[in-house]
Structure 1
């Protein structure tokens, strides 16, 4: 899993000499006038005389005075408006990476000029992560073709004095994001539940993260009853059988943060008995994006081994298949927490998987007074409709008193991984109330979440009650990445973004 290593540049004049090893210079700034290096600015101004696109498009042009004799200029455009953020740098770097790769660049020197503004303090980091996002190619392509040709850039020179974040931290972040992109973006046979589990085991092998996998279907049936209901129709196909993956990291020293992460890993979502129709099944191999983000975060921990933090992550990897043994609406299934759940729609399966996983995490967090809970999922079309391309954060009352979502969102703003905070309210809990004495809770209504009022808020109420979190004093934040998990909202073809990972890393690491 190769990706560009970072070489920190301390002496820019040497790096820009004709004898330097770099084969191109990538410059990211608001416009030509914002470039601080005089020689580069002069080259840009000269090119502007023959090309009016210079401040509006990512361009490559020849220049005899720089290493590799070529400059790629990536203008962010205006940065002074209140709604401008560091994604301006991430986005143009993403474009520049594709241009550089197609031009045969292998070792670019990257210069970033950002305003002296808190919003852009991580601009250099955002440029590196934007470049690597643009360079990443799907796992299937890398296995079938020449990876060195698909992703030709092996090294990136970054000016060290411009960024407070270490190269090690950034490369750990990219290692985690690549794990997340691979897990989310790989097709449903290669990354069915057993393959998903195997990838996690391999990615974390020999690291400080302990990985345990439950593959016994009878054990899953006993201990994860809601999860197994979703998996029932897939059990007959051995290569599709469900897995539960538990990953644990505990850093040295006194624990300041103790995080419990639940990841939704629906490796393919047919909708089950409430079958997706009219072309809506395409892209449903990416319904494992939440679990992918969780696994990527654990990879980042494995690389960094930070002190003072404990993280327990659990993923339910399940295929929601259609078949003779598929679960159906109207069934009443008792959750791991002992809550009788009436199924409203089998296409609202992710919350069932997360519920039992959360309950197990609650059990593991017994006597942990620092425990904070998160579920990460591509959960609702409503989140994509309401806040896309942002992540939606929905917190319980305890989390709200701690400003959990507010701080996550603030971290996301600084790391090009933004989110919107949504309140949970009484209507959300009323929505899932039981209608009869036969059950304790309704999983969903029988309409698409995108056309249901508060369609991304009420599932958090369901998760809190069905898992037993409502009977604890734990802070809990639900992270819905349905609107942010792939580029451009294109779930079939768009690159996975590892949404939520940098927000968590920026907040806790």
Structure 2
């Protein structure tokens, strides 16, 4: 799994020299009168005489005195405005990365200059994440053409007077890379059995137990009835049959904290019987982004092997197909938790998949120390519409009392993986209430979430009820913290789910919050 490996550089004089082994220098900084080293100042001042773009857009400068004899200066904008954040460094790094790759660099040295203050404290690391993000190429391309051809960049030297947690950086990037591969790969290459196989390969030799369920579809029908209903029309096609992938990281020694995840892994979403029309099916191979991100986070944890924290995850990997045995609206299906669910729309399938997963990990949570439960999904168009490119967080009462989303959002903000906080309210639970004695909960209405008030909040209420978590509220004998994470807006760059690169969100925020 090739990617530009970060290495710490503490001696700037040696690293800038022509014999350092670096084949170019990248400077990311606001326009300045002093770029903190005489060689840089001399090079930039000379170039400024000939190119008025300097300081406004990225430029490529030939400099015989520097490593590789070349300097890329990618400026940030001014950084003293209320709305600026550390992602300005990621943006500039992405531009520099493409220029560096096109110039043939394989081992550049990266330098940044940043303002004082907590907002930009992690600017170097965020720039590195942006650098790696833009250079990632899809798994299918790497398998067809070779990794070294499509991703030739080998290393990136990061200059800092204090070590920027290099092991954590590389482990987090490996997690993001696994998340991008799982999310961004086409639906046949990453059909449910192959998704499970890729996870097994990714965790081979690492301290994560991988259990794959679904070789016998009847097993899933019994234990994951809502998930199985979504997959029902795909079961007769062997290579489309559903899987549940369970991942468990258990550290040595005492366990102080347990994280439990349910990840939506819909490898292709046709909409089912409520079929997607008008071209809206394109890109639905990325509807597995939630499960992909959870797997990525577990990969990072496995590489870092932190003490005191246990992580359990279940990934529901299914194809929502069309066929004679497809589930339909109006069906009433009993969830794993024993809740009778009336189907409102078969295109609201992700919450069905996760409700059973959440019910299973809830059973684990009641016996764990300080448990926190999460669902992670590319769930609603409403989240993308309401939050734009930000991850949406929705807490239950217990999680809100513990400040779960508040802490995760604060962490993501300074690490370039930002979130927006919503909250669950009475209207959400009223929206999914049963309309008769025949059922206990309604899965959805029959309008798009983007045309529905509170379209990304009410699914969390459904998940709470359908999984039985409503029995573990803040005033219950055994309260459980639960946060729903919707990455429909943050899961790909630019918002084009068919063509844009997956981001791996919220792997960085989770890793910085719980593993650093």
TM bucket, shorter chain: over 0.9
User: Could you say what the CA RMSD is over the residues aligned between the two structures, in angstroms?
Assistant: 1.0
* C-alpha deviation, 1:159, in angstroms: 1.4
Could you tell me which residue of structure 2 aligns to residue 201 of structure 1? Answer: 200
* C-alpha deviation, 1:83, in angstroms: 1.8
State the distance in 2 between where 1:155 and 1:482 align: 31
Could you tell me which residue of structure 1 aligns to residue 127 of structure 2? Answer: 127
Worse-matched range after superposition: 44-53 or 467-476: 44-53
Aligned residues: 508
State the distance in 2 between where 1:257 and 1:35 align: 44
State the distance in 1 between where 2:4 and 2:311 align: 28
Could you tell me which residue of structure 2 aligns to residue 474 of structure 1? Answer: 480
Q: Provide Cα deviations, 1:438-480, integer angstroms capped at 9, x if missing partner.
A: 0000000000000100000000000001001111210100000
The runs of at least 4 aligned residues of structure 1 exceeding 3 Å deviation read none
Q: Provide Cα deviations, 1:327-379, integer angstroms capped at 9, x if missing partner.
A: 00000000000000000000000000000000000112232241100000000
Could you tell me which residue of structure 1 aligns to residue 489 of structure 2? Answer: 483
Could you tell me which residue of structure 1 aligns to residue 21 of structure 2? Answer: 21
* C-alpha deviation, 1:34, in angstroms: 5.8
Give TM-score scaled by structure 2 length: 0.97
Unmatched 5+ residue regions in structure 1?
none
State the distance in 2 between where 1:370 and 1:436 align: 37
State the distance in 2 between where 1:385 and 1:41 align: 45
Q: Cα 1:34–1:117, aligned 2, differ >3 Å: closer, same or farther?
A: farther
Could you tell me which residue of structure 2 aligns to residue 502 of structure 1? Answer: 508
Q: Cα 1:51–1:279, aligned 2, differ >3 Å: closer, same or farther?
A: same
* C-alpha deviation, 1:149, in angstroms: 2.2
Worse-matched range after superposition: 10-19 or 459-468: 10-19
State the distance in 1 between where 2:2 and 2:32 align: 33
Worse-matched range after superposition: 75-84 or 209-218: 75-84
TM alignment of 1:212-223, pairs within 5 A = 212-215=211-214, 216-223=216-223
State the distance in 2 between where 1:277 and 1:390 align: 26
- Does the 8 Å contact 2:86/2:126 carry over to 1? yes
Could you tell me which residue of structure 2 aligns to residue 83 of structure 1? Answer: 83
Secondary structure in 1 aligned to 2:318?
A: strand
Secondary structure in 1 aligned to 2:246?
A: strand
* C-alpha deviation, 1:256, in angstroms: 2.7
Give TM-score scaled by structure 1 length: 0.98
Secondary structure in 2 aligned to 1:272?
A: coil
Could you tell me which residue of structure 1 aligns to residue 171 of structure 2? Answer: 172
Matched, 1:427 2:427: yes
* C-alpha deviation, 1:35, in angstroms: 2.4
State the distance in 2 between where 1:37 and 1:268 align: 52
State the distance in 1 between where 2:96 and 2:470 align: 47
Worse-matched range after superposition: 77-86 or 385-394: 77-86
- Does the 8 Å contact 2:10/2:162 carry over to 1? no
Q: Provide Cα deviations, 1:149-173, integer angstroms capped at 9, x if missing partner.
A: 211110111114255x321110001
Q: Cα 1:34–1:141, aligned 2, differ >3 Å: closer, same or farther?
A: farther
* C-alpha deviation, 1:18, in angstroms: 1.7
* C-alpha deviation, 1:147, in angstroms: 1.8
- Does the 8 Å contact 1:210/1:247 carry over to 2? yes
State the distance in 2 between where 1:97 and 1:326 align: 46
TM alignment of 1:225-304, pairs within 5 A = 225-304=225-304
- Does the 8 Å contact 1:22/1:109 carry over to 2? yes
* C-alpha deviation, 1:45, in angstroms: 2.3
Worse-matched range after superposition: 278-287 or 147-156: 147-156
TM alignment of 1:52-201, pairs within 5 A = 52-163=52-163, 165-201=164-200
* C-alpha deviation, 1:4, in angstroms: 1.7
Could you tell me which residue of structure 2 aligns to residue 335 of structure 1? Answer: 335
State the distance in 1 between where 2:54 and 2:383 align: 37
State the distance in 1 between where 2:312 and 2:180 align: 21
State the distance in 2 between where 1:289 and 1:205 align: 22
State the distance in 2 between where 1:94 and 1:86 align: 13
Secondary structure in 1 aligned to 2:17?
A: coil
Could you tell me which residue of structure 1 aligns to residue 380 of structure 2? Answer: 380
- Does the 8 Å contact 1:24/1:71 carry over to 2? yes
Could you tell me which residue of structure 1 aligns to residue 396 of structure 2? Answer: 396
* C-alpha deviation, 1:204, in angstroms: 0.3
State the distance in 2 between where 1:332 and 1:95 align: 52
Secondary structure in 2 aligned to 1:110?
A: strand
State the distance in 2 between where 1:484 and 1:158 align: 27
Unmatched 5+ residue regions in structure 2?
473-478
State the distance in 2 between where 1:414 and 1:250 align: 29
Worse-matched range after superposition: 113-122 or 30-39: 30-39
State the distance in 2 between where 1:214 and 1:391 align: 29
State the distance in 1 between where 2:293 and 2:131 align: 19
- Does the 8 Å contact 1:257/1:508 carry over to 2? no
